[in-house]
Amino acid sequence: MSADSTQRFSDRVEHYVRSRPNYPTAFYEFLEKDLQLPSPMAVADIGSGTGISARPLLERGHIVHAIEPNQPMREAAEKLLSHHPKFHSINGTAESTGLSNCSVDLVLAAQAFHWFDRAKARLEFERILKPSGYVVLVWNERRTDSTPFLREYEQLLQNYATDYNTVRHENIDAAALAAFFAPNPYATRSFINAQHFDYQGLESRLLSSSYTPAAHDPRRAPLLAELRRIFDRHQQGGHVNFEYDTRAHYGQLT
């Protein structure tokens, strides 16, 4: 994980907490029922951010080691989750978690794997996983072409975002996933997810992304003006919808 990637969200934490999507209940049921891991599980939540993926795990009784190098995001998670006795916040990275050898049943990277140094992260995951443990890499993948609103939102990002096509998690393709899990196979499960936004929620969702222009950037004002026009064209009852495919890639490393 590069120094740049660990700091990209420092000025977006408030928006991240307010507007990023959760993961569907079916995803957590899959972790508990399909992987045949102990209950409760010990989970290393890598790049845990503001605690979005950790919170449901804690509420289900699991032990969560939240590994997050970005201080503002880590502090937001601590504020939200520190009352859970099984929550452990760690200033670490995918490549250096600070966890003990063979200490976790599950390594989870939610909306984070595309920021990692994959070779170094794999070595670290092998070290901290128990022999029967799993790695699960999950993303909420926003649909870009399923509705007129989502098509226009995607074009907005193409027109105004700073490095959208460079840092998108879709750059982690099947070949990259196969190489990461090799020589073992990996499998994929998909789940339906959605968010419903009024205009302020939509604006916050946009500004939570690391590739949107910062407040001082001259592209920020025209970006938000166009966002407002798109919202006004497509809102129904004062809301628009984001549709996601929550896609989880999972396998064992040894």
Radius of gyration (Cα) for the chain, nearest Å?
A: 18
In angstroms, the CA 210 to CA 206 distance is 9
pLDDT tens per residue across span 228-237: 999 999 999 9
Flag the least confident range among 1-15, 44-58, 222-236: 1-15
Q: Where are the domains of the chain?
A: 3-143+167-194+245-251
Q: Which residues of 211-241 are buried (b: 16+ CB within 10 A; e: fewer)?
A: ebbeeeeeeeeebbebbeebbeebbeeeebb
pLDDT tens per residue across span 194-203: 999 999 999 9
- Cβ atoms of residues 70 and 7 within 8 Å: yes
The pTM of this model reads 0.90
**CATH of span 3-143+167-194+245-251:** 3.40.50.150
